[in-house]
Amino acid sequence: MPVQIPTQNCYHTESSLNVSFRVLIAFALMSLLSFMQSAIATANETDLPRANKNFKTLSKGDTLDEWKHSGNWKIEDGVISRQGKGGSLVYIGRKIPDDFELQFEWKVSKGSNSGIYYRPTQYEYQILDNDVHADGRNPRTSAASLYFCVQPSKDMTKPVGQWNAGRIVCKGTIIQHWLNGEKVIHLNYQDPKWSSNVDMLRQRGGNLEARDANLSLQDHGDPVWYKNIRLRELKETDLVDMTEVVPAVIPANVLEAEKKKLAGIIKRREDAKKRQQQKK
């Protein structure tokens, strides 16, 4: 009697295997896609370099124990935010070393303005919504600028509401500002080619030779958030990236408006001195 081969059952068995294999492949692809999306989201969230053991974290937990303020700042889960009028938030845990690296993340709401002061007088890393705030029209007062001194090479800010990664490196006469993983300012303030920039800041009241300040987060009346603030002192043997960057070009009409603004700053300062002298 001929042997009958159960072709129908074999077909179902082979079909089931194919379906299972396709399901397995689809699951693997979905898992890979999910992993890639997570990695991209993490990369977008922060461009800070990995901190080593020499960094001290200045913002963590839910207390501002080593910070001084007037009750207008708070911290929650390591995120510092401005809550109302009252002035800057000042770190009193230690003074900023002469040579240092400061890493931090920041974000703003629409039109917000703030800043990080890291040396005496007018050393300010500008924090800003470039698209809406008036200071964004001039690269020299835009986000990541050394305010009213040197403009960044390009606008590297992320959209409002997203975290930006900032970094300040100072060693000797070198000042660097970084934003979202890219160095946007490299200034050697003793190099004659920067003399006009140095003089502009001097007229505003800044002294690039100044040292020994407390870190200060500016209250400019606008919502702003900071996190992952960490500081390390640079040793003499620590090397820094010496690659130079070219500041962005400032349009002629913006330069003219800048001159008028500087003249106004100088006049207000002189008027204030006269009033003080009259009171004596």
Residue 9 belongs to a domain: no
User: In what side-by-side order are the strands of the sheet with 113-119?
Assistant: 67-68, 89-91, 216-217, 113-119, 123-128
Residue 155 belongs to a domain: yes
Residue 6 belongs to a domain: no
Position 53 scores a pLDDT of 76
- Report the candidate in 227, 264, 271 with the shortest Cα–Cα distance to residue 148: 264
Position 49 scores a pLDDT of 72
| Tens of each residue's pLDDT in the chain, 280 residues | 454 444 444 444 445 545 455 645 555 545 544 444 444 444 444 566 776 779 999 999 999 999 999 999 999 999 999 999 999 999 999 999 999 999 999 999 999 999 999 999 999 999 999 999 999 999 999 999 999 999 999 999 999 999 999 999 999 999 999 999 999 999 999 999 999 999 999 999 999 999 999 999 999 999 999 999 999 999 999 999 999 999 999 999 999 999 999 999 899 989 998 998 998 7
Residue 22 belongs to a domain: no
For residue 197, give every residue at least 6 positions away whose Cβ sits within 8 Å of its Cβ, in sequence order, or none: 149, 150, 187, 189
Position 31 scores a pLDDT of 52
H or E, element range at 90: strand 89-91
Residue 11 belongs to a domain: no
Chain CA centroid to CA 126, Å: 9
Number of domains composing the chain: 1
Residue 25 belongs to a domain: no
- Report yes or no: 112 and 143 within 8 Å, Cβ to Cβ: no
Residue 214 belongs to a domain: yes
Which domain does 128 fall in, by range? 56-260
Position 95 scores a pLDDT of 97
Residue 246 belongs to a domain: yes
Position 246 scores a pLDDT of 97
CATH number for the domain including 183?
Answer: 2.60.120.560
